[in-house]
Amino acid sequence: MRKKIALIGGGQIGQILAMLAAQKEMGDIVVLDIPDYVNPVKGKALDLMEMAPHGNYDANITGTSDYKDIQGSDVVIITAGKPRQAGMTREDLLSTNIKIISAVANGIKENAPDAFCIVLTNPLDAMVYTFHKITGFPKSQVIGMAGTLDTARYRAFLSMELGVSVADIAGTVLGGHGPTMVPLPRLTTIGGVPLTEVANQDLIDRVVERTRKAGTEIVTLFGKGSAFFSPAWSAIVIAESYLKDKRRVLPCATLCEGEYGINGLFIGVPCLISAKGMEKIFEIKLTDEEKERLGATKAAVQKTVDECDTFMS
């Protein structure tokens, strides 16, 4: 029997997720959206079914607004919520998206309690925290997609600056999904060669800064809405690692319980994603400066989470 993937939210990211999951034959796909948007979502699903003969995939793709249709899902990917507009921070979305994520969490809890859940809705670290709090799912079953995207952006910018294949750039970005995130140049390598030996400090600083503001750069260019291709691919990488037990080590927002000196927050750290879900957190020995930066990102995430807790009390 085919696997089943539920996509909650069939907007910009949701539609790319559906296309990628179909092309990769990850399973049958159900796209769920609000009743007011169910016809466009049904239309997108039908369009993708009609793409299958040339796209060379077999998958049933359907649109719905009924949570019963997500029953039996192996993976649920959540993009329901408002995206940023130019001039907004991710935190500006909190009051709207917390209501949406609460409704979505209850729908998933009731209908797909065994699914591996990947949250993309912003402000990411606070939304995945809220989702986990409402569902009460084990922490291995709930992950936030942010570091995977932030690291992809970091690698893309390094590739653009250095003129080397993105495939040969390995690195990671820790922390919250916002301007306080912590790229780690010290541990970045280009085909095994330390970045710090091939690039000067100016270049490194420029790339780090651009990575931190990468989402805003796209929002500003769009004027309306936020990035969708790269967030979708990043979520698919996580979903594939789970479904195929690829055991990828990816920076994801996971519940830290003492790791990195962080307790009770979802924040980006390197995670082993296997058929067990979020199987293991890898801890890195950080320098004092990196620890300080991680402390700043932790404080920023804590502030947004506190607002969520106040909202929900």
Please tell me whether residue 26 binds ligand APR under the rule CB under 6 A.
no
Residue 83 C-beta: closest distance to ligand APR, Å: 4
Of 28, 33, 150, 240, which one interacts with ligand APR (CB under 6 A)?
33
Residue 158 binds to ligand APR (criterion: CB under 6 A): no
Indicate which single residue of 4, 6, 7, 11 sits in contact with ligand APR (rule: CB under 6 A).
11
d(Cα 269, Cα 192) in Å, to the nearest integer?
22
Note whether 144 binds ligand APR by CB under 6 A: no
Cα-trace Rg, the chain: 19
State how far the Cα of 94 lies from the Cα of 311, in Å rounded to an integer. Answer: 10
Known catalytic residue: 54?
Answer: no
- Give first-to-last CA distance, the chain, whole Å: 43
Q: Which stretch binds ligand APR (CB under 6 A): 21-29, 93-101, 110-118, 283-291?
A: 93-101
Close Cβ partners of 291 (under 8 Å, ≥ 6 residues apart): 261
Give the shortest CB-77-to-ligand APR separation in angstroms: 10
Nearest residue to the partner ligand APR, using Cβ? 11
How near is the Cβ of 311 to ligand APR at its closest, in Å? 16
Smallest gap from residue 227 Cβ to ligand APR (A)? 7
Of 69 and 259, nearer to ligand APR (C-beta) is 69
Per CB under 6 A, contacts with ligand APR among 65-84 are 79-84
Choosing from 177, 212, 293, 298, the catalytic residue is 177
Tokens of 267: 């924040």
Residues with catalytic function: 177
Q: Rule CB under 6 A: which residues touch ligand APR?
A: 8-14, 32-34, 37, 79-84, 93, 97, 100, 103-104, 120-122, 225-226, 228, 231
